[in-house]
Amino acid sequence: MNSDSRFVIVGLGLLGGAYALGLRKAGFQHVAAIDISEEALDFARRRDYIEEGRARDFADLLARADYIVFSLYPTTFIQWVEQYGQFLRPGCLCTDVSGVKLGLVDRVQALLPAGVEFIASHPMAGKERSGVENAHLVDFAPANFLITPTERNTEAGVAFARQLAQALGFARVHVISPAEHDRMIGYVSQLTHAIAVSLMCAPGAERFADYTGDSFRDLTRIASLNDAMWAELFLWNREYLTEEIDAFTARLQQLKGCLERGEREALREMFRTSTAARAAFDRKEREG
Amino acid sequence: MNSDSRFVIVGLGLLGGAYALGLRKAGFQHVAAIDISEEALDFARRRDYIEEGRARDFADLLARADYIVFSLYPTTFIQWVEQYGQFLRPGCLCTDVSGVKLGLVDRVQALLPAGVEFIASHPMAGKERSGVENAHLVDFAPANFLITPTERNTEAGVAFARQLAQALGFARVHVISPAEHDRMIGYVSQLTHAIAVSLMCAPGAERFADYTGDSFRDLTRIASLNDAMWAELFLWNREYLTEEIDAFTARLQQLKGCLERGEREALREMFRTSTAARAAFDRKEREG
List the single best residue of A224, A236, A265 to mutate versus B (max B Cβ within 10 A): A224
In sequence order, the 6+-apart residues with CB closer than 8 A to the CB of A139 are A125
Residues (pLDDT < 70) of chain B are 288
* CA–CA min distance A244, chain B (Å): 9
A 116-155 residues inside an 8 A Cβ radius of B: 124-126, 143-144, 146
Q: Report the Cα–Cα distance between both ends of chain B, in Å, rounded.
A: 28
**CA separation for the pair A169, A56 (Å, rounded):** 31
Q: Report the Cα–Cα distance between both ends of chain A, in Å, rounded.
A: 28
Question: Is the CB of A230 less than 8 angstroms away from the CB of B271?
Answer: yes
Residue B286, pLDDT score: 77
Q: Taking the CA of residue B219 as centre, how many other CA atoms within 13 Å lie in the half-sphere pointing to its CB?
A: 30
The strand order across the sheet containing B6-10 reads: B52-54, B30-34, B6-10, B67-70, B93-96, B117-118
Q: Which among B221, B277, B278 is the nearest to A218, CB-wise?
A: B221
DSSP structure class, residue B196: H
Per-residue CA distances from B195 to A182, A188, A215, B216, B221 (Å): 22, 14, 11, 12, 11
Residue B288, pLDDT score: 60
Q: Are B88 and B115 in contact (CB under 8 A)?
A: no
Among candidates A116, A125, A117, which has minimal Cα distance to A146? A125
Question: Is the CB of A213 less than 8 angstroms away from the CB of B172?
Answer: no
Q: Which among A201, A246, A273 is the nearest to B251, CB-wise?
A: A201
The residues facing B33 across adjacent strands are B9, B53
Q: Which among A124, A209, A252 is the nearest to B288, CB-wise?
A: A209
Q: Are A170 and A143 in contact (CB under 8 A)?
A: yes
Q: Across the 288 residues of chain A, what is the mean pLDDT of every consecutive 10-residue run?
A: 94 97 96 98 97 96 97 96 96 96 96 97 86 95 94 97 97 94 93 93 76 79 91 96 96 97 97 92 77
| 3-state helix vs strand vs coil in chain A, percent to 5 | 55, 10, 30
Q: What single letter denotes the amino acid at residue A9?
A: I
Residue B147, pLDDT score: 98
Residue A288, pLDDT score: 59
Q: Which among A184, A205, A245 is the nearest to B281, CB-wise?
A: A205
B 191-230 residues inside an 8 A Cβ radius of A: 191-202, 205-213, 215-228, 230
